[in-house]
């Protein structure tokens, strides 16, 4: 997915930095890009995979290894990206498909992913769908159409999958994971003018009187909200598509909260929203519904209004759609999910625009958190990406 390009680059350099130079990891950002001959790793979003120039390495050879992240994105056999990705995977010496939800609605969605790794010897879509999914005939106006539902011959399909699939459940690896994992998630700026103005204000904030400095910093963060509101909406859409449990989404500005609420409503996701305008008398019932009701999957929360007093341990994912400049407030927000009563690892995402006020704020949060933990805990502990506590 496009929103994961930077994460893949960062992870490649984190784990293979001793063997791969940063310049040899190429991210394809638009259809105008060309794959470089010196690129050892090429990161191509699904939105561009249909372009044939991205089907071979810069040397003109087939790629040796093709990794298809969130492979349920190629589950529709008629989609252009699927028609492009499956031959690309089959041409590679090694093909790896990654997904937490390879089949989101019915068993027929597995066909294209199995075809990518099993090749020509694998059965066609119709034969596979009729064998492992339930067919329903529906009519739209005067048009007759087939719809696939559920699964049948589960044991047989499970045996087939075991030949090509390694399945890891969170419960299986929970003892290997930290109780809390913080990670920086890079999102692109969707408003470059707001981004540049935020940078200018943040740079100027160190020059004035203390109150003027605070006003400049606050305005810089408001502009950062403008700069990444669209890309944040895109990330929330991506998150919801693969979300199996519950999530807390934190933001600071009303514009961002409203934009995220718009996404939640368009995706028909059950949610609660608590911000400064939410009456205190209503909050306990809202929290109770989030904790107990399986249909309420998201809590949309104001950073400053919800940093204290809320028990939201039903969530195991926390997303900071905006950063805040006081590390203690951020940690208090994290503690809404990471507290007594939490039985799962808590995965915390900080959405940052690369090289922007966001990242400078993230570095500042890191150093402030390290200083605080050194005083209180006697050890250094920061808000670094992939740090564990």
pTM for this predicted structure:
0.73
**Does 388 score more than 50 pLDDT?**
no
Mean pLDDT of 5-11: 89
Residue 345: strand, helix, or coil: coil
Residues 86 and 189 in one domain: no
Residue 333 near residue 350 (C-beta atoms within 8 A): no
With respect to residue 260, please indicate whether it lies within any of the assigned structural domains.
yes
Identify whether residues 187 and 101 lie together within a single domain.
Answer: no
Share of the chain above pLDDT 90, in %: 54
Q: In the numeric block, which tokens belong to residue 237?
A: 């859409």
State which residues form the domain around 275: 174-377
Q: What is the mean pLDDT of residues 65-80?
A: 93
In the beta sheet, which residues pair with residue 350?
Answer: 184, 320
Mean pLDDT of all residues in 375-383: 53
Residue 385 pLDDT more than 60? no
**Residue of 224 and 298 predicted with greater confidence:** 298
Burial of residue 244 (number of CB atoms within 10 Å: 0-12, 13-18, 19+)? exposed
* CATH number of the domain within which 182 lies: 3.40.50.300
Question: What are the respective helix, strand and coil percentages of the chain, to the nearest 5?
Answer: 45, 15, 35
- 27-44 in b/e burial notation, b at 16+ Cβ within 10 A? ebeeeebebeeebebbbb
Average pLDDT over residues 113-125: 90
Tens-digit pLDDT profile for residues 287-326:
999 999 999 999 999 999 999 889 899 999 999 999 987 7
106 part of a folded domain: yes
Check residue 156 and give its pLDDT: 93
Mean pLDDT of 266-289: 94
Question: How many domains is the chain built from?
Answer: 2
Is 50 exceeded by the pLDDT of residue 209? no
Q: pLDDT of 229-243, one tens digit each?
A: 999 999 999 999 888
Same-domain pairing of 100 and 188: no
């Amino acid at each position: 997915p496009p929103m994961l390009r930077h994460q893949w680059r960062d992870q490649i350099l984190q784990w293979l930095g001793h063997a791969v130079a940063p310049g040899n990891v190429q991210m394809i950002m638009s259809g105008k890009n060309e794959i470089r001959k010196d690129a050892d790793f090429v990161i191509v979003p699904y939105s561009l995979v249909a372009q044939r120039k991205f089907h071979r390495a810069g040397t003109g050879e087939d790629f040796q290894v093709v990794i298809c992240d969130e492979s349920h994105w190629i589950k529709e056999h008629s989609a252009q990206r699927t028609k492009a990705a499956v031959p690309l995977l089959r041409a590679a010496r090694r093909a790896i498909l990654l997904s937490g939800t390879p089949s989101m609605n019915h068993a027929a969605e597995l066909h294209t992913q199995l075809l990518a790794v099993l090749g020509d010897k694998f059965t066609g879509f119709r034969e596979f769908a009729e064998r492992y999914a339930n067919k329903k005939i529906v009519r739209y106006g005067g048009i007759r159409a087939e719809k696939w539902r559920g699964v049948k011959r589960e044991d047989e399909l499970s045996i087939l999958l075991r030949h090509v699939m390694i399945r890891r459940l969170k419960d299986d690896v929970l003892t290997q994971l930290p109780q809390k994992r913080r990670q920086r998630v890079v999102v692109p700026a969707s408003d470059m003018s707001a981004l540049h103005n935020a940078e200018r204000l943040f740079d100027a904030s160190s020059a004035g009187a203390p109150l003027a400095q605070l006003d400049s910093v606050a305005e810089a963060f408001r502009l950062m909200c403008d700069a990444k509101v669209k890309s944040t909406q895109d990330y929330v859409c991506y998150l919801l598509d693969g979300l199996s449990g519950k999530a807390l989404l934190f933001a600071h500005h009303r514009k961002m909260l409203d934009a995220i609420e718009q996404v939640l409503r368009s995706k028909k996701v059950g949610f609660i929203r608590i911000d400064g305008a939410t009456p205190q008398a209503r909050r306990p019932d809202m929290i109770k519904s989030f904790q107990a009701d399986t249909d309420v999957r998201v809590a949309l929360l104001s950073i400053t209004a919800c940093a204290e007093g809320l028990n939201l341990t039903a969530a195991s994912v926390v997303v900071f759609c905006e950063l805040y400049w006081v590390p203690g407030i951020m940690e208090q927000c994290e503690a809404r999910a990471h507290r007594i009563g939490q039985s799962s690892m808590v995965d915390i995402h900080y959405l940052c625009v690369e090289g922007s006020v966001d990242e400078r704020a993230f570095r500042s949060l890191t150093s402030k958190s390290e200083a605080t933990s050194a005083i209180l805990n006697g050890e250094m502990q920061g808000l670094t990406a992939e740090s564990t506590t």
